[in-house]
Each structure stands twice: as structure tokens, then as C-alpha cells.
């Protein structure tokens, strides 16, 4: 029974340490997203004028990513696009591909699905967290249940715990690799805001 308690305390301490690391990482991501949103609000482009000698229903916008808006009487960018005044060209707009793939590729952050957290895809991020902490919780429960059965010896307890641990590690590694592949292929869009401030979904921007 002492071995069971020591094993449980060992797993509990590991989960506590990992939780602290995860909370620190999540706090960093949250601060980065707040700063990025503030920067985006400060850098909102002005209304884009029509080409000279065109206006109203006859307005010709200077770029293919722009469309005339009757309410503002100016050209406005289509969803997932923005207008670069300096270069006078259309640029894709959305969450950074580089940030997402870097965070997902680093094992200590990617194992938690941090790349998807950076994208704002909290549904996928939650699946990563559910697998990790749910798996750890399940292993702790199995350790306690096996230890409470006096018919089981220490070798059986260690074997069962080790098997569950191996299955959890394989599942985490598989999900970790899957995350890298789908982000590289840009299979999932990320939440974003259009010029009206409406919530939309846009592909990652390189």
C-alpha cells in the first residue's frame, strides 16, 4: 500500500509540475494575443478611395481584393484580405502561419496543442488538453484501484501502469505529429475579424 501511495504521489507531482508549465505557457499566449489585437486595432487601414474620376455606383476600386461599400461610400477589403497603401497591392490577412507551426513543432508546447491555441482554435486545443490530463487522471485512478486490491502484487501494478502510460504516450505523439501535418497543409482556418469587426474564419498567412 505504501508503494501505491508513493506511485500516486509521484504521478500527482508530475501532473502538478506540468500544469504549472502549461499555465505559464498559456499566460504567455494570452498576453501575446492581447498585444496582437491591440496592434491590429491601431493599424486599421483608412477607407480606400475609388480610382480618380469614379465614384458611387461607377466606383472602380484600386485592387481586386476590394469592393465598393454603399454605406461608407469607399472601397473595403474582402474577407481575409487587406490593402497595403504603401505598395498599392492586396495582401492576405489572418493569423500567422509561422507562429502556429513553430509552437506546434516544439515538443514541450506542441504536445499540448499550443499551435492550435495560438490560432485561436480552442476546440482542437481542448482535445489535446483533454487527452493529456484525462489520460494522466486515468492512470492515477488505475494505480489506486490496483493498489486497493490486495490480491495484486507490485509487479502487476507496475505492469498495468506502464501499459497505460505507453498507450497515453503513443496517443500524444500521434496527435502531436498530426497537428504539425495539418498546420503545414493549412487544413484548418483560424478565427479573424473583417473590416466591419465581424467574426470570420481565415486561412493561416505565411
Per the CB < 8 A criterion, the answer to whether 202 and 190 are in contact is: yes
CA–CA separation, 73 vs 57, rounded Å?
Answer: 9
Q: Provide the terminal-to-terminal Cα distance of the chain, rounded to the nearest Å.
A: 55
CA–CA separation, 126 vs 24, rounded Å?
Answer: 17
Phi–psi pair at 92, nearest 5 degrees: -65, 140
Q: What is the pLDDT of residue 196?
A: 87
Q: If you average pLDDT over residues 85-95, what whole number do you get?
A: 90
**pLDDT at residue 5 is higher than 80:** no
Q: What percent of the chain has pLDDT over 90?
A: 39
Cα angle 95, 97, 102 (rounded to 5 degrees) comes to 125
170 versus 26: the higher-pLDDT residue is: 170
**pLDDT at residue 175 is higher than 60:** yes
Nearest Cα to Cα of residue 85 among 40, 51, 48, 60: 48
Q: If you average pLDDT over residues 75-87, what whole number do you get?
A: 91
Q: What is the pLDDT of residue 43?
A: 44
CA–CA separation, 39 vs 46, rounded Å?
Answer: 15
Mean pLDDT is highest, among 34-43, 59-68, 154-163, for: 59-68
Amino acid at each position: 500500500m505504501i508503494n501505491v501511495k508513493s506511485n500516486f504521489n509521484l504521478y500527482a507531482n508530475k501532473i502538478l509540475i506540468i500544469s504549472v508549465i502549461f499555465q505559464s505557457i498559456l499566460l504567455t499566449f494570452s498576453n501575446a494575443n492581447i498585444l496582437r489585437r491591440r496592434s491590429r486595432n491601431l493599424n486599421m487601414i483608412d477607407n480606400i478611395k475609388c480610382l480618380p474620376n469614379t465614384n458611387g455606383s461607377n466606383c472602380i476600386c484600386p485592387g481586386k481584393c476590394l469592393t465598393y461599400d454603399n454605406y461608407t461610400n469607399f472601397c473595403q477589403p474582402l474577407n481575409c484580405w487587406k490593402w497595403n497603401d504603401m505598395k498599392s497591392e492586396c495582401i492576405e490577412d489572418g493569423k500567422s502561419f509561422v507562429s502556429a507551426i513553430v509552437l506546434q513543432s516544439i515538443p514541450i508546447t506542441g504536445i499540448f496543442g499550443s499551435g492550435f491555441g495560438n490560432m485561436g482554435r480552442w476546440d482542437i486545443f481542448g482535445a489535446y488538453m483533454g487527452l493529456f490530463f484525462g489520460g494522466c487522471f486515468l492512470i492515477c485512478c488505475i494505480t489506486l484501484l490496483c493498489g486497493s486490491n490486495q490480491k495484486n502484487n507490485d509487479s502487476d501494478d507496475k505492469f498495468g501502469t506502464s501499459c497505460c502510460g505507453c498507450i497515453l504516450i503513443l496517443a500524444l505523439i500521434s496527435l502531436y505529429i498530426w497537428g504539425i501535418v495539418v498546420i503545414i497543409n493549412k487544413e484548418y482556418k483560424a478565427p479573424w475579424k473583417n473590416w466591419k469587426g465581424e467574426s470570420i474564419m481565415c486561412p493561416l498567412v505565411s
